[in-house]
Structure 1
Amino acid sequence: MKVLNEPGVLARSERFFSTPSATARGLFFYVTRVGHYYYDERYNFLDSCDVAHQDSHKNFFLAYVRSGTMYFETSQVFTAERGQVALIDCHKPHRFFTSGSAESLWIHFDGANADSFFSQIITFRGGRQTFSPVPDGRIEQEMAQIISGLRSANMSEVDCSQRIYRILCSLLFPNPQHGRMPENDAIAKAMQFIGVHLFEQLSVRRVAEAVNLSPSHFSRLFRSTTGFSPHEYIMLHRIDEAKALLQSTSLSVKEIAFRVGYRSEVNFITAFTEKTGNSPTQFRKNTL
């Protein structure tokens, strides 16, 4: 529907509402309102206005800027320019505004583990709330499809949920695994190196040196690509190897601990129990 009487929002703008089903609220990601807005310098959305207190607004806000610049105030002040995405938690104080002409696609969404996704994305991105997505247009296309689906009323809640999930994954893991970027190759080589040397002492520095990266840059790149810190990846990989040995061999727990790179049986049992919910002995009994 066309937008009327919203200061700073031009007449050719569109906005649509969506009321999620009980199933969607319990299981899916879902949108509550979406829009394709054209702005002038008067646009100034404050969280003290009546709209900001409606349920359809009090969730998470994602805006893709197609032209111009949008300004945001949350716990920090930042901008999103052409081709950039801003992600906001509208449960908390916020303000959006422009200083000239701009255009954006935006969605208000919630559901499933949206709050966890939001927290992880912000953490992985070093606290930033504006991002430059990979230049393949995926996020813009997914948002445009969601808006188009609500305009024509022919998008299912499952389809909408899947599109939101893909957007969030793109923000969480911005480096595509399938790309030919040298840095992605470095992470693939690092994972291969870890697999070969899993039984040895493996520090972040050692793995980073094996792929010719500094430890700090390697750690950031590894997390943004895989979702794990290098330390966590090594530990989980060791536990996966231990599961296979517990299930397929008669090696003692101590022998398995040393086989997968632990220098202490106690440390191995503690880590295994923490990550799986069972001690190695219990795991072996439950899988026989």
Structure 2
Amino acid sequence: MHIKTSTKKPLEFISAGQFISSKPWTHEKRVIDSYELIIGVNDTLYMKQSDQKYNIEPGQAMLVLPDQIHEGFCPCTPGLSFYWVHFLSPSPVYHISNEEMDQEISRLRKNPDTQSAISDIYLPQYFHGAVSDRVNILFQQLLHIDNSNYYTSTSVHYLLTSLLIELSEQNITNFYYDLKDNQMDHHLVRIMEWTRVHAFEDITVGKVAEQFNYNKNYLSRLFKSKIGMNLSEYIHLLKISKAKELLTRTNNSVKEVAAALGIEDEKYFMKMFKKYENMTPTEFRKAFYRTHMNNT
């Protein structure tokens, strides 16, 4: 099941934070009058909504619906952590099935001229795949702005809306990417996924090409023609995206962040980060340091 709503008006932010448990913990049984998005950060959150059980692993997400009973169905281990945000939609919200969503998006894809005018977002009740690092970064920025006393009070509403748009885009992509459209696309997706999984090792274009029996120059040209960047840039962007998440979510030193990305040379990492972000890792971390945490 998915919810569909418009973003012509920004969604209304209520509150957000990061929950951290220092002891065994079970989510209380309750009913709320808003939507709540939960994104796993560490360990597994066990949740039940309307008799449906969900195991929310790190990087996975769940949408708690208003006026429905939800609760934990077994104790979570110490160290559990997750992001949470409560929000409302000023526009009507529609509940649609997978079949209805398929029909809607298929109709839109058949008429590309209408895509620029679309303002709807589509959020599943449970995100089966892992959300991208971009979502984690947006969430950290949301927490920072919420705790920064911005004079422009609407800032959190627009950033929340940006976060939900990003989730919607990931949902649509995951739901509708058809590997049968093009055999070469099928191979490219496999290569991209393998590269993503191994991106934080000592990975090179040559190693990727060797893994899939391609000439490395041909493989880079293939990436450039299909996704608009060569393979080396794709690897760098994966590393930069993860670096931004680590810089906002952890207190790891820049050297430790670089090592987590499979980069031994700290200065090389700093140079690469500044090339893509126009600021140093330390400057990026200082830009978003305020968060709200609740714990047990």
* TM-score tier after normalising by the smaller chain length: 0.3 to 0.5
Return the structure number with greater relative CO, CA threshold 8 A, min gap 6. Answer: 2
Normalized against structure 1, the TM-score is what?
Answer: 0.43
Larger Rg: 1
Normalized against structure 2, the TM-score is what?
Answer: 0.42
